[in-house]
Chains A and B, each alone.
Chain A
Amino acid sequence: TLLGVVTTDALVATDVWRKMVQVAVNRSFNQITVDGDTSTNDTVIALASGISGSTMISSCDSYEAKQLQACLDAVMQGLAKSIAWDGEGATCLIEVLYNDDSILKLYFQFIVKVIGADGEAEAAKIARSVASSSLAAIYGRDPNWGRIACAAGYAAIPFHPNELCISLGDILLMDGGQPLPFDRAAASAYLRKAGETHGTVEIHISVGKGPGIGQAWGCDLSYDYVKINAEYTT
């Protein structure tokens, strides 16, 4: 279960605050996954006291609203990543984001953007699909580009497979939908190092030239996850 309480002293109108919190949740907590198990209790409560002395933010379109939205996104993303980082039994955190230069990164902090898709929602959906696939291969330190491509492919977001490009860190594994020869030992060492330091796995994926940006975080699946949950009995 995910619980959160967020507070601010900014002065903001109720309806604006609610929209902001929904946007921030969709860019943070709703983009994390550990085990694909959606709890009955997940809740985020966000309170605004309004006593900072700031001027009232009464429109989502104002510059001040964008400033506050950015702050809210940052706090919620910071907390969301720490939850995925702390996934039961996890040895490393995975984050997925695409960016403007059409590259998807899958790493402790990686960025997923759907190239050629309509926008943020599509990018976020692919990102979370890749992050939430069991990716047990990551725990096995296996640079399995095929499974990453598969997870991107079943996200129900259309893209042309011949535009698919995947790299692990800066090791290019696939380009233009074609698997490439790569240094397998170096790629495995990259994953192993991340596991040993509970650190970062970075994978870049491109699927076209779209405008949207999305990111997601997950963690690798280890034996410990089963052990922890087998003992957490009702």
Chain B
Amino acid sequence: VSSSMNETSNYIPAAPILLPEGPWKQISGGVTAAKGFKAAGTYGGLRAKGEKPDLALVTCDVDAIAAVLHFCFDSSILISSWFPAVRADLCAFENFPACAFTTNVVAAAPVLYCKHVLGISETARAVLINAGQANAATGDAGYQDVIECAKALAQLLQMRSEEVLIESTGVIGQRIKKEALLNTLPRLVGSLSSTIEGADSAAIAITTTDLVSKSVAIESEVGGTHIRVGGMAKGSGMIHPNMA
């Protein structure tokens, strides 16, 4: 496991992270810096080209409260014409307090899925991210792919599938390479660790056309206790987000 993670870090360099000044110090570890989190990134054959890792996983040892900000649209008529299977769920979603709407009325299958599960559960314990296919504009089939992947991962992690959140990035219009993804899950779960390498490999695995990986963590004191906030991100093209 450690050798594969070392290989991961050889693919693209880390971005220079320009943090604003403040009462914190930058520490390493990205998404694993905060207590209770593990991460992993591995190659699952999902990318169109090359063998850079393309599947990442972030898990939390305990029920983590989740806040998800992504695309939402309120044209349920539009929804019913495209995704009859999810329509009822989305109506329930209307009660989701932290939502706002964007001008983009097309939402990818993983986005619809996240809305659905967070409409019925306030906590999450795993985020699975694939790079290579965006699973957007892929209709019912794309949505079913997401459900299958979430279910398979939940079984491996012995948690409810509603506790799994999914992000996808890559070519819009393409469904995920589901078999390759499902076959890779055991190895991905097996390589989970709370180490810096785990976080770094996940930050690389979520990239597409990025030339650098983006990962940062800080430690500060809140109410007299040391807390940590960390994160990873990807993005290089199609960047003009209106998230709420």
Contacts and interface: CB of A to CB of B under 8 A. Distances in A.
B97 A42 contact: no
A19 interface: yes
A85 B137 contact: no
A21 B67 contact: yes
Given A25-B243, A82-B15, A45 B237 contact: no
B122 interface: yes
Contact of B243 (A29, A82, A232): A29
Contacts of B110: 41, 43
Nearest to B212: A86
B242 A49 contact: no
A76 B65 CA distance: 18
Given A5-B31, A5-B58, A54-B223, A78 B17 contact: yes
Contacts of B237: 34-35, 37, 87-88, 225, 228-229, 232
B240 A33 contact: yes
Interface stretch (A7-15, A150-158, A163-171, A184-192): A7-15
B91 interface: no
A71 B222 contact: yes
A80 B68 CA distance: 17
Contacts of A180: none
B66 interface: yes
Interface string A45-88: 11111111111010000011001101111111111111111111
A57 B223 contact: yes
Contacts of B165: 45
B69 interface: yes
Contacts of A41: 70-71, 108, 110-111, 134-136, 167-169, 172
Contact of A49 (B34, B98, B220, B225): B34
A80 B243 CA distance: 13
Interface stretch (B3-11, B79-87, B152-160, B228-236): B228-236
B80 to A, nearest CB: 18
Contacts of B93: none
B171 A29 contact: no
A83 B235 contact: yes
Given A38-B240, A71-B220, A47 B19 contact: no
Contacts of B136: 39-41
B62 interface: yes
A32 B241 contact: yes
Name which of A2, A25, A54 has the most chain B CB atoms within 10 A of its CB: A2
B31 A6 contact: yes
A14 B65 contact: yes
A232 B171 CA distance: 8
A33 B240 CA distance: 4
A46 B173 CA distance: 27
B94 interface: no
A22 B222 contact: no
B186 interface: no
Contacts of B211: 86
A79 B241 contact: no
Contacts of B20: 73-74, 77-78
A187 to B, nearest CB: 24
B18 interface: yes
Contacts of A67: 23, 220-223
Nearest to B114: A43
A17 B234 contact: no
Interface string A139-183: 000000000000000000000000000000000000000000000
B143 interface: no
B238 A49 contact: no
B172 A40 contact: yes
Contacts of B220: 67, 70-71
B217 to A, nearest CB: 7
Interface of A: 1-10, 12-15, 17-22, 25, 29-30, 32-55, 57, 63-64, 67-68, 70-88, 108-109, 132, 225, 228-229, 232-234
22 contacts: A1-B238, A5-B31, A5-B129, A7-B31, A8-B229, A9-B37, A10-B229, A18-B67, A32-B239, A33-B240, A34-B238, A38-B102, A38-B103, A39-B238, A44-B69, A47-B124, A48-B64, A68-B229, A75-B19, A78-B216, A88-B236, A233-B171
The 9 closest A-B pairs by CB, nearest first: A49-B36, A18-B98, A34-B239, A82-B15, A54-B225, A6-B231, A2-B235, A9-B35, A47-B64
